[in-house]
Each structure stands twice: as structure tokens, then as C-alpha cells.
Amino acid sequence: MPEDTVFDRILSGEIPCDSVFSDELCLAFRDIQPVAPVHILIIPRKRLESLNSSTEADESLLGHLLITATKIAKQEGLKDWRAVINTGSEAGQTVFHLHVHLIGGRALKWPPG
């Protein structure tokens, strides 16, 4: 298995986080380098490096991550928000453990990058 990422260390409890949601499939916490007033990371407990490493067997987990993003957005009082999944280093992925960025709380521009 690849070397542990910072997200593996958060999941193990080795590194603390500002958790906003947790269940048997995922953990959500506030990003320590937010790009908006609300910037939450949602990570699966199952180690997947990126969407590229997911398979059909992960379909329900991937759906769960997006439904969880919707629940958290409501919990945070967001009407408009963005979900981002960077896949690969050229797309901006810096931690190679699949994660969803939930971003909101201000007007977001397009295109983002």
C-alpha cells in the first residue's frame, strides 16, 4: 500500500481535525487553508487515491460522498455552493486520497482555474 497521506493520519486520529460530519463511510472536516468562508473536505474512510482508482464497486461510496456534501451544505446554511474533486496533480490534486471539496459562502467565479 502507498505511504500514508495526511488524510490517513486524520482518519486514524493521529492528526486532529475540525470535524463537521462523520459516519461509517466518510469523514468531513474544515480545510486548514480555506479558499472561501466555507471550505470543507469530505474524505472516504476507504483509501482511494483518486477517481481514477475507483471502480464500479465504489459507485455507492461515491454517491454517498455527494449526498453527504449536500447534507453538510444545508447544515452550513449554504444555498449555493460548489463540489470539486481534483483528479491528478495537473488538476490540482495535492493529497492522493480521494476527497470532495465543498466550497461556498461567497460568490464563486467560473472558470475556477
Are the beta carbons of 95 and 17 closer than 8 angstroms?
Answer: no
Is 99 an annotated catalytic residue?
A: yes
Q: How far apart are the first and last CA of the chain?
A: 32
Name the active-site residue from 39, 64, 97, 99: 99
Helices (H), 3-82: 6-11, 59-75
How many Å apart are CA 11 and CA 51, to the nearest integer?
Answer: 19
Which amino acid, one-letter code, is at 95?
V
Active site residues: 99
